[in-house]
Amino acid sequence: MNFKKQLYEGVLTKNPVTVQLLGMCSTMAITTSLFNGLGMGLAVTIILTCSNILISALRKVIPSEIRIAAYITIIAGFVTIVDLLLQAFIPALSESLGVFIPLIVVNCIILGRAEAFASKNGVLASAVDGITQGIGYTLALVIVCVIRELLGSGTFGGGLLNGGQGFRIIPEQYPAMLLVMPVGGFLVLGCVIAGSQWLMKHLEKKSKKKEAAKR
Amino acid sequence: MKTESTAKYVLRLTLTLLIITTLVAASLAGVNSITKPEIDRINAEKTQKAIEAVLPGGGEALESFPDETGLVTAVYQGESGYAVQVAPAGFDGEIDMMVGVGSDGSVLGISIISHTETAGLGAVAADSGEKGQAFRSQFTGLTGQVLVTKDGGTVEAITGATITSRAVSQGVTAALACVADLG
């Protein structure tokens, strides 16, 4: 078991959002407040982990000819369960994420991991993969959320902290509305991807230097 | 695999998928039976709250009501007037809202039950902050055709969300027309 390596991959080198560029629709649409980002990230992590476990457990039973149909059925089942539970027990989150919860069914991250990982690896490794990829997704969403919310609405922690209003950091008349709109999502995501690329290059150089120093 | 006959092979594929879909359907039915009463309760509560927000004392649902605009989804009659639930099309999907109309035929107040407008723009129409309240309070007392200033009316549209503001105005107009038809 290599949890640390998988976590490193999920968060940085194989991050579903910034490297694999999966699930862009939800990334653009819901990342306008911290509450949305955390909620969406958590929902996807739970669904991804559950579907990874089940698909991995059934990988020898499901004939490869019908695997996509079987995966989608299983994923849709989990998504609907989470959707119903959210509606019943966390209605505020369900309202704020709206149609994007049911749309997790077609979020490429879930089917992508089912096809690329869970269908080829054991149950435990697949569960870890679901959790680490989920963490990577959540982290990327939260970073985009915080930037967009701060520069676009001027608040931090909207929907979650300070009675749902969030803390106002920039006075109401200054924030750039553009960033809250879809186009802002693309701009911020582009910058976040650039940032993560820089970080990866930086870390790579560092580890190479270390090796060189050893010699 | 190679020894398997075609018939057996097709049967195996079909049965596997059938079992998976049956199990998924069964577990969904189970979850639904737990969550349905809770979801129904939350929705009923929301509607009730919206009615009380725009019509003091609340009201009883009318079974039939005139609806020329096609936007009215429910009408509640109370002591001081009506609460009309309308669903005009906003920027991004329907805006489910409640409009209180007094016995004199003017708007008592509006409240938005659910919507999917853009956060920070159209969503301001529904938020509990100063801006949202200021926007919604503009409708109080209006009669007849309600329009935003851009269309020659009196309603100051939310910055960057003219479509949402127009939709809300349209909903209010429909609610007023509906009550006018009720007499």
CB contact under 8 A, A87 and B119: no
- The yes-or-no verdict on residue B170 having pLDDT over 90 is yes
Give pLDDT tens digits for B22-78. 999 999 999 999 999 999 998 888 888 888 888 887 778 888 888 878 889 889 988
pLDDT, position A207? 86
Q: Is residue B78 part of a domain?
A: yes
pLDDT tens digits for A33-47?
888 889 899 999 999
ipTM attached to this prediction: 0.75
Q: How far, CA to CA in Å, does A54 sit from each of A94, A111, A152?
A: 25, 13, 40
User: Average pLDDT for residues A127-131, to the nearest whole number?
Assistant: 94
| B2 — pLDDT class (breaks 50, 70, 90) | low
A11 — pLDDT class (breaks 50, 70, 90): confident
Mean pLDDT lowest among A122-126, B1-5, B45-49: B1-5
Q: Is B62 contained in some domain?
A: yes
| pLDDT for residue A77 | 94
Q: Residue B100 above 70 pLDDT?
A: yes
In a domain, B100, yes or no: yes
Query: Which residues from chain B sit within 8 angstroms of residue A165, using beta carbons?
Result: 129
> Based on the number of CB atoms within 10 Å of its own CB, is B152 exposed (0-12), middle (13-18) or buried (19 or more)?
exposed
Whether B26 and chain A come into contact, CB under 8 Å, resolves to no
Instruction: Answer yes or no: do B16 and A63 touch at CB < 8 A.
Output: yes
Predicted pLDDT at A58: 92
pLDDT band, very low/low/confident/very high, at A162 (cuts 50, 70, 90)? low
Mean pLDDT in residue range A102-109: 86
Compute the C-alpha angle A105/A110/A112, nearest 5°.
Answer: 120
Number of independent structural domains in chain B: 1
Which of the four pLDDT bands, split at 50, 70 and 90, describes residue A78? Answer: very high
Q: Which residues 35-94 of A are in CB contact (within 8 Å) with B?
A: 58, 61-63, 65-66, 69-70, 73-74, 76-77, 80-81, 84-85, 87-89, 91
pLDDT score recorded for residue A46: 93
Does A162 contact chain B (CB < 8 Å)?
no
Residues facing residue A167 across a β-bridge: A156
Quick: pLDDT tens for A179-196.
888 888 899 999 999 999
Decide if A29 touches B, using CB distance below 8 A: no
| Across A113-128, average pLDDT | 92
Q: B165 is in which domain, residue-wise?
A: 54-182
Say if residues B154 and B142 touch (Cβ distance below 8 Å): yes
pLDDT of residue B89: 92
pLDDT of residue B136: 92
Query: Does residue B21 lie within any of the structural domains?
Result: no
Domain span holding position A192:
3-214
pLDDT tens column, B145-169? 889 988 888 888 888 889 999 999 9
**A109, A48 contact by CB (below 8 A):** yes
pLDDT of A95 reads 78
- CB of B127 within 8 Å of any CB in chain A? no
Q: What is the pLDDT of residues B75-97, one digit of tens each?
A: 998 888 899 999 999 888 889 99
Q: Taking residues A91-103, report their average pLDDT.
A: 81
Cβ–Cβ < 8 Å for A100, A14: no
pLDDT band, residue B183 (cuts 50/70/90): low
Helix (H, G, I), strand (E, B) or coil at A148: helix
Handedness of CA B145, B147, B149, B154 (dihedral sign): positive
pLDDT at A193: 93
Residue-averaged pLDDT of chain A: 87
| Residue A214 clears pLDDT 80, i.e. is over it | no
pLDDT of residue A1: 56
The pLDDT of residue B32: 94
What local confidence, expressed as pLDDT, does residue B20 receive?
A: 93
CA distance B106 to B95: 21
Provide the CA B27 distance to its chain's centre, in angstroms. Answer: 30
- The fraction of chain A above a pLDDT of 90, given in percent, is 43
Q: How many CB pairs under 8 A join A and B?
A: 69
